[in-house]
Amino acid sequence: MAVKITGTGSYIPSCIEKNEDFYKHEFLNADGSSINNSNEVIVEKFKAITGIGERRYVKDTYLNSDIAFFAAQKAIENAQINQEDLDYIIVAHNYGDVKHDAEQSDTVPSVASRVKRLLGIKNPKSVAYDVLFGCPGWNEAVIQANAFIKSGIAKKCLVIGAETLSRVVDKHDRDSMIYSDGAGAVVVEEVSDEGGIISHESATYALDESHFIYFGETNHPDITDKRRYIKMYGRKIYEFALINVPTAMKTCLDNSGYNIGDLKKILIHQANEKMDEAIVQRFYKLYNMKMPEGIMPMTINKLGNSSVATVPTLFDLILKGELEGHDIKEGDVIMFASVGAGMNINAIIYKY
């Protein structure tokens, strides 16, 4: 028996927000003071660090549960299963459904329950629930699905990562340029085959690190509403990730029984191009190796950071032949890895 991903799907919003669109924003420091650079210089420095040239935002009429549903439909169709046979529907997100121009997120009912309703699934034993685990949420939901299946209480699970970060960004914060919207989904099921999920590793660092990504007030001192926005200590996250993520990746690989030379692709959360490159370089350095060319596919330049959606979207695009220069063949050993709010880290070794 193996636990495998048998279907994938993703939803990439049609609204493109280019870096040039931020020239008209009023960016301020966290204390509300002015930044001593033009927006053109701010955006140029941002692009050099993150690799982001544009990102995707959802239409005003769509909710996070809508785009999760769009990706789920594609994954179910790709897996060629009867959706009524799904034992679990697990949706990873961080902010629920946030309506356009709303001041409050909506998490009741769960996003997973909303997706189940949109899919029209009647089976009450198809259990729907949400996972809040920061950007590594989709990975963690896959790990949970794997546990359900291996324990014998489930045979088929739908795992979705979806987020509409454009609804929770502070337009006066430079970090707002990182975030984007999107959804990715997979069907995970028990099959009579080899490979699939081989090993996994997860960790939470919360004593000093839990506040590195948080909800905070706008940078603009004259705005007095009660809205809160996604905020982060970027330098602290960068330093944390470079120390802790490569070690977790190594533990995961070592526990799989495969060698570093067996690894064909690393699908890492699209957080920041420079940071992702540094993480993978340090991972290979732990084996006294240089990072191989083409090992780390990237979508961040066009799609930005859509949190829980980046890894499943990346996987779907590669499998569908939509990411130039990258493919995954039968028998390939790959790794999913992520880091995010919590601060949480995880990795999965998967044999396709």
Indicate if the pLDDT at residue 298 is higher than 90.
Answer: yes
What is the arithmetic mean of pLDDT over 101-107? 83
Q: What angle do CA 340, 102, 19 make, to 5 degrees?
A: 55
Does the pTM exceed 0.85? yes
The domain made up of 198-351 is a member of CATH 3.40.47.10: yes
Which residue bears the tokens 């961040």?
300
Please choose, from the candidates 217, 215, 208, the residue with its C-alpha nearest in 3D space to the C-alpha of residue 236.
208
- Which option is the CATH number for 2-194: 3.40.47.10, 1.10.3720.10, 3.40.190.10, 3.40.50.1110? 3.40.47.10
The band of 310, judged by pLDDT with boundaries at 50, 70 and 90, is very high
Indicate if the pLDDT at residue 34 is higher than 90.
Answer: no
**pLDDT above 90 as % of the chain:** 80
Indicate if the pLDDT at residue 105 is higher than 90.
Answer: no
Model pLDDT, residue 32:
79
**pLDDT above 70 as % of the chain:** 100
Please choose, from the candidates 99, 90, 196, the residue with its C-alpha nearest in 3D space to the C-alpha of residue 138.
90
Indicate if the pLDDT at residue 221 is higher than 80.
Answer: no
Q: CA-CA distance, 65 to 93, in Å (whole number)?
A: 10
Q: Which amino acid is at 276?
A: D
Indicate if the pLDDT at residue 217 is higher than 90.
Answer: no
pLDDT digits (tens, 9 = 90+) for 250-288: 999 999 999 999 999 999 999 999 999 999 999 999 999
Structure tokens at 207: 């004593």
Domain ranges of the chain: 2-194, 198-351
pLDDT digits (tens, 9 = 90+) for 116-172: 999 999 999 999 999 999 999 999 999 999 999 999 999 999 999 999 999 999 898
Structure tokens at 184: 């990715």
Q: CA-CA distance, 74 to 54, in Å (whole number)?
A: 25
